Chain A
Amino acid sequence: MTQYSSDSAAEQGLASCQSCGKLSTVSNKFCRRCRAPLHLRKPYNIQKTLALLITALMFYIPANLYPIMATEQLGMIESANIVEGVIALWEMGSQPIAMVVFIASVIVPVTKFIILFWLCYSVRFNTHIDAAERAVLYRITEFIGRWSMVDVFVVAILVALIQLGSLLNVRPGIAALTFAISVVLTMIAAMTFDPRLLWDKLESSDQQVTNKLNITKDN
């Protein structure tokens, strides 16, 4: 029994360069094409991912508790955190925008946390969940990560744009920073996670595919 699935490159001592994708024998230590260090799997990636995730979570909690933005209108300061902002938008009648903000700021980060924690757990405890399914989850995480930044950018725009002295002005809240940090950390966590681990525990008998690449006509 090897550590890797029978059809993997790692099984044959070949490592795919993380930077350029070139396949080399792992004994080379460094990729000959791009000089990036070679590993069969990203070292300590589960630990790194978990560490980053937990840090991100630590930043995400204040991001939801503290105001993301403070509106000062005629000397009265009103501050709202993310959820309050969404509720306010919803009540103002701009439900689509409220949905966009809610998805970007709440659903996406929470989904990302859940998926990444679940992936780490599944790899660590070797659960027999379909690898393809988990790969799809991973790809979703990678794709949606950046869209959480929408709320941060909205704050940046409003802060820059709404500066009418004491009549109306907008100031960023501490949550804007912690939220941005949290998003960046989850993005790094997703990058650190090595999706190849998901496939390592596959039995060769499970595979119903050939070692043939699917070449399709690109639309």
Chain B
Amino acid sequence: MSSQSSFQQAKADISTHNRVSKVWLIPLVALCIGIWMVADNYYNRGPLISIEFQNAEGLEAGKTRVKTLNVDIGVVQSVVLNAQRNGVIVTARLNPQARDLLNNNSLFWVVKPRIGSGGISGLGTLMSGSYIEFVPGEGAESPDEFVGLEQEPITPIGVPGIRVSLEGNKGKSVSVGDPVTYRGFEVGRVEQSDFDVKKRIVHYQIFIRAPYSNLVTDNTYFWNSSGVSFEASAQGIKVNLGSVESLISGGVTFDVPDDLPLGEPIENATIFNLYPDKDSVYEQRKYQFKEFVVLFKDSVRGLSPGAPIEYRGIRIGTVTDISLSLISNSDVESSERRIPVVIRIEPARVGMNNDLAAVSAIAQQMDTWVAQGLKATLKTGSLLTGSLFVDLDFYPVDQDSVIGLVSNKAVIPSVSGSLAQIEQKVFAILDKFEQMPIDVTIDNINQMLSSANVTMGELKKTVAGLNTLLTDKQTQAIPQQINTTLSQLTKMMKSYDAKSPLYGELDQTMNQLQLFLREVRPLIKELNNKPNALIFETQADADPQPKGLNNED
């Protein structure tokens, strides 16, 4: 009974308190703050973007950050497969401040540890885990769906410079990230390389940084700068080592050939040819030319398109074609079953201007030269392969010394190759032997022997003097001095010990050299197999020139 009433009382109490109690302000305030916080958070949250990647390696929802210049600007929210199931779609929530940075040229890629030709990158992510790098870029639109790059772009976006396309089909391939050098100084990087299956050429895109981009002109030639250049010549063997990086990976280098004017700077995306090495730049670059035909009686085995045309050892042109089809059936008789070889005479190779005027001058001169006895002959050129080249020189004028015409091309007459020349040379040597004044020579020898006697006497005196010198105290001190020098040398060598960085580099270089030498081995083997080529060449080269000179006179 009374408990009943007390409850009613309590209830009444509650209701009166309800109207006035200030305690209800607390949840009200909490609610208001809560709603404000949620609303504020909702309206001020950053953009939600999706990025497509090929795979989600190293990406974790809720953990992987999105960074630009190493500043956190967002976090990955989810990683899901795309509709085609050949990639992943990464959804990331960026900070509100990042909204202005997003545009259609923004780039995203995953930074993870990579070991590439460009060096080791992303080492920091070994410890912290991968993150998505974001480069704002500049663009008008601001989409929220992006396609991520699989690799860090070689050139950071926004770096001024030019992009040049190269096409090449020879030489070892250049890989993405390889350096582009100008006279040994790195000025850019190879950004892209892909193989065009249809054309069977390799396309490269290279980037050259701003101040250096002016170095690229319309007369610039690009070639593959392999790490090591190996050159065997009469002076011995010369090995050029490039920078360590290009040693490992090669690269591209460029320059304007010495005989060309600097030229005008070029536009973006100009296409250049990529030559396999520096020499082929000089050999293969575009010269203005005049085509001639030479009809050879000899076998042209060993002669290939690209072989040089030389005038007394100076290159003046290139063999372009060897083809029987050049002569029509009607010509067959007249050409006496000779093999037609198309050659180009390139006047710019001998210092003339690289223009059509020089070419036409050559074309006009040719008639005269042929009339004076200019003939073409086949000679063995290469030390190693026995390949042939075409040599032009003046020979005694005969009935062949007229210019012919095959397939609308002037024909330079030819003479038989080396065999006939050897015959000539043998005769010449025999002539010389005949003319040798043997009597006089014997007299001379006698005189020489008598003077040798005198010399011997003087030699005795010298030896005696030497003896006194050797017993001298100062001379005896010399070994000791050598000893100190040696110990100093040992001390110096210690700094090259296995732990020093210098040694490491040296070691690496040596390894590289070893690898290279292994590659060279077949070449040396061939050299061993065909030493006669070497001998033959030198002999063949030695004599004809004076003969030609005589003829000219």
Q: Which A residues form the contact surface with B (CB < 8 A)?
A: 74, 163-167
Contact = CB atoms under 8 A, between A and B. Distances in A.
B129 interface: yes
Interface string B106-150: 000000000000000000001111000000000000000000000
B45 interface: no
B63 interface: yes
B126 A166 contact: yes
A163 B63 CA distance: 9
A165 B129 CA distance: 5
A166 B112 CA distance: 13
Nearest to B62: A163
Contacts of B126: 166
Nearest to B129: A165
Contacts of A166: 126-127, 129
Nearest to B130: A165
13 contacts: A74-B127, A163-B63, A164-B127, A164-B128, A164-B129, A165-B127, A165-B128, A165-B129, A166-B126, A166-B127, A166-B129, A167-B127, A167-B128
- 3 interchain residue pairs of minimum CB distance: A165-B129, A167-B127, A167-B128
Contacts of B129: 164-166
A33 to B, nearest CB: 14
A156 B191 CA distance: 47
A163 B75 CA distance: 15
B370 to A, nearest CB: 79
A167 B127 CA distance: 4
A164 B124 CA distance: 12
Contacts of B63: 163
A205 B63 CA distance: 70
Contacts of B128: 164-165, 167
A74 B129 CA distance: 12
A166 B127 CA distance: 5
Contacts of A167: 127-128
Nearest to B63: A163
Given A164-B127, A164-B129, A166-B129, 10 more contacts: A74-B127, A163-B63, A164-B128, A165-B127, A165-B128, A165-B129, A166-B126, A166-B127, A167-B127, A167-B128
Nearest to A164: B128
B138 to A, nearest CB: 33
Nearest to A168: B127
Nearest to B125: A165
A163 B126 CA distance: 14
Contacts of A74: 127
Nearest to B126: A166
Contacts of A164: 127-129
Q: Output the residue of B63, B126, B127 with the most chain A CB within 10 A.
A: B127
A139 B506 CA distance: 78
A20 B127 CA distance: 57
Interface string B49-73: 0000000000000010000000000
Residue in A74, A165, A166 whose Cβ sees the most chain B Cβ within 10 Å: A165
Contacts of B127: 74, 164-167
A163 to B, nearest CB: 7
B517 to A, nearest CB: 40
Interface string B490-529: 0000000000000000000000000000000000000000
A164 B127 CA distance: 7
Contacts of A163: 63
A165 B22 CA distance: 50
A166 B63 CA distance: 14
Contacts of A165: 127-129
A21 to B, nearest CB: 16
A167 B129 CA distance: 8
A163 B129 CA distance: 10
A133 to B, nearest CB: 37
A62 B63 CA distance: 33
A170 to B, nearest CB: 14
Nearest to A75: B127
Nearest to B58: A165
A179 to B, nearest CB: 28
A181 to B, nearest CB: 29
A117 B63 CA distance: 47
Nearest to A73: B127
A164 B128 CA distance: 5
A211 B127 CA distance: 71
A163 B127 CA distance: 11
Nearest to A74: B127
A69 to B, nearest CB: 20
A164 B129 CA distance: 7
A194 to B, nearest CB: 29
A131 B39 CA distance: 58
A165 B111 CA distance: 14
A167 B128 CA distance: 6
A167 B126 CA distance: 8
A43 to B, nearest CB: 32
A74 B63 CA distance: 18
Nearest to A167: B127
A167 B63 CA distance: 14
A166 to B, nearest CB: 5
A165 B124 CA distance: 11
A165 B65 CA distance: 13
Nearest to A166: B127
A128 to B, nearest CB: 41
Nearest to A169: B129
A74 B128 CA distance: 10
B294 to A, nearest CB: 71
Nearest to A165: B129
Interface in B438-486: none
B78 to A, nearest CB: 18
B65 to A, nearest CB: 11
A13 B480 CA distance: 120
B70 to A, nearest CB: 15
A74 B127 CA distance: 7
A178 B354 CA distance: 89
B113 to A, nearest CB: 11
B18 to A, nearest CB: 22
A14 B447 CA distance: 155
A168 to B, nearest CB: 8
A215 to B, nearest CB: 16
A39 B444 CA distance: 147
Nearest to A163: B63
A35 to B, nearest CB: 21
A45 to B, nearest CB: 33
A164 B63 CA distance: 9
B153 to A, nearest CB: 24
A193 B164 CA distance: 86
A171 to B, nearest CB: 15
A104 B201 CA distance: 74
A40 B128 CA distance: 62
A135 to B, nearest CB: 30
